[in-house]
């Protein structure tokens, strides 16, 4: 890692930490780097930085660096870390907050497929009120260009009656759409 110029970064630290806490990350400054979060994290092996290191980057105000990690996208939100943290830091909540900030600021995303999936997921709800797994799978395949992922599985699921070709009908779909609109209005980016 390149030299981190703390003089510059620390100046804006408070602002960044406030932003993270505003988006739902709790007690960021309480972290004392014990590593219990990372030790128990099921996905840690696939991350470029340990969750503990992400916490440190937030504490120091290393905004650019932390928002470019794969870690924030690979958090499975299993909340093992939050449950075990001896300092009662909501680490999973910090990960969520960092994703939101990353998207809000239209920054490049390390694990692009992860938010792509979430976008499609939410788009279907926004339009129909409920999730429709067949549509989600189909649109995800088209978007990633990986048309043959899990084709065999899909076929078998279809014959077991687990994939419905047509989405559910929700009377209140309109009201769900309105919820999305208002959230966007009040909090900015929704997808």
Partner 1 sequence: MCWCGSNIASTVDLDRVQKAVEKLTNVVHVEQNKYTCSEPGQAQIVAGIREHNLDRVVVAACSPRMHEKTFQRTVAKAGLNPYLLEIANIREHCSWVHTSVEEATPKAIDLLRAAVAKVIRNTPLTTSTIPVEKRALVIGGGIAGIQAALDIADAGHQVVLVEKEPTIGGRMAQLDKTFPTLDCSACILTPKMVDAAQHPKIRLLTYAEIEEVGGYIGNFEVTIRKKARSVNEDVCTGCGICWSKCPSKAPNEFDCGLGERKAIYIPFPQAVPNKPVIDRENCRYFTKGKCGVCKKVCPAGAVDFEQEDELLRERFGAIVVATGYELFDHSVYGEYGYGKYPDVITGLEFERLINASGPTGGKLKRPSDGKIPKTVVFVKCVGSRDEAKGFPYCSRTCCMYTAKQAILLREKMPEAEAYVFYMDVRTPGKGYEEFYTRATEEFGVNYLRGRVARIYPKGDQLVVRGEDTLVGAQVEIEADLVVLATAMVARRDAAELAQRIGFSYDQYHFFTEAHPKLRPVETNTAGVFLAGACQGPKDIPDTVAQASAAAVKVAMLFSRDELETNPMVATVDEGTCSGCEWCKPTCPYGAIDIKTIEERVGKRTVSRRVATVNTGLCQGCGACTVACRSGAMNLKGFTNEQILAEVEAICL
Partner 2 sequence: MRYAYYPGCSLEGTAKEYDLSTRATFRALGIELEELPDWSCCGASSAHTTNHLLAVALPTRNLVIAEKQGLDLVAPCAACFNRLVTAQHKMEQDARLKGKVEQVVEGEYQGTVKVKAVLEVLATDFGVEKVREMVTKPLKGLRVASYYGCLLVRPPEVTKFDDPENPTTMDALVEASGAEAVMWPHKTECCGGSFAFARVDIVEKLSNDILAAAKSNGADCIATACPLCQANLDMRQKAIEKQFGTTYNMPIYYITELLGLALGLEPRSLGLGTHMVESLRLLREKELA
Chain positions contacting partner 2, by CB under 8 A:
23-24, 42-43, 45-46, 74, 76-80, 82-83, 90, 96-97, 99-100, 103, 111, 113-119, 121-122, 125, 129-134, 136-137, 140, 149-150, 153, 156-157, 160-164, 168, 170-173, 175-176, 178-180, 182-184, 186-187, 189-191
* Residue 158 binding target from partner 1, partner 2, none, CB below 5 to 8 Å by type: none
Decide if 109 contacts 73 (C-beta within 8 A). yes
Judged by beta carbon, residue 39 or residue 136, the one nearer partner 1 is 39
Instruction: Tell me if 122 sits within 8 A of 128, measured CB to CB.
Output: no
By a kind-dependent CB cut-off of 5 to 8 A, residue 138 interacts, out of partner 1, partner 2, none, with none
- Rounded CA gap, 97 and 113, in Å? 18
* Least distance (Å) between residue 121 CB and partner 2: 4
Binds 50, which of partner 1, partner 2, none (CB < 5 to 8 A, cut-off by type)? partner 1
Residues 6+ positions from 147 with CB-CB distance below 8 Å = 141
| Cα–Cα distance measured from residue 101 to residue 109, given in angstroms and rounded to the nearest whole number | 11
Work out which of 84, 112, 156, 178 binds partner 1, going by CB under 8 A: 84
Those residues with Cβ within 8 angstroms of residue 47's Cβ, 6 or more apart along the chain or in another chain: 41, 69, 70, 71, 74
Is residue 59 involved in binding partner 1 (CB under 8 A)?
A: no
Residues 16-45 that bind partner 1 (CB under 8 A): 32-41, 44-45
Q: Which own/partner contact pairs does 109-114 have at CB distance under 8 Å and 24+ positions apart? A: 109/73, 110/48, 110/68, 110/69, 110/70, 110/72, 110/73, 111/70, 111/73, 111/74, 113/144, 114/73, 114/74
Residues at the contact surface with partner 1, assessed by CB under 8 A? 32-41, 44-45, 49-50, 52-53, 80, 84-88
């Amino acid at each position: 890692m390149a030299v981190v110029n703390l003089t510059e970064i620390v100046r804006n630290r408070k602002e960044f930490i406030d932003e993270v806490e505003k988006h739902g990350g709790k007690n960021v400054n309480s972290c004392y780097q014990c590593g219990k979060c990372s030790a128990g994290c099921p996905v840690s092996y696939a991350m470029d930085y340990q969750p503990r290191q992400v916490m440190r980057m937030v504490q120091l105000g290393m905004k650019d660096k932390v928002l470019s990690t794969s870690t924030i996208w690979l958090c499975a939100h299993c909340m093992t870390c939050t449950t075990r943290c001896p300092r009662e830091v909501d680490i999973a909540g910090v990960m969520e907050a960092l994703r939101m900030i990353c998207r809000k600021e239209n920054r490049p995303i390390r694990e692009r497929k992860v938010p792509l999936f979430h976008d499609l997921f939410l788009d279907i709800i926004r339009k129909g009120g409920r999730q429709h797994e067949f549509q989600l799978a189909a649109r995800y395949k088209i978007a990633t260009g990986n048309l043959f992922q899990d084709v065999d599985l899909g076929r078998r699921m279809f014959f077991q009656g687990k994939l419905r070709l047509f989405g559910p009908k929700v009377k209140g779909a309109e009201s769900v759409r309105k919820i999305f609109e208002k959230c966007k209005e009040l909090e900015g980016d929704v997808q």
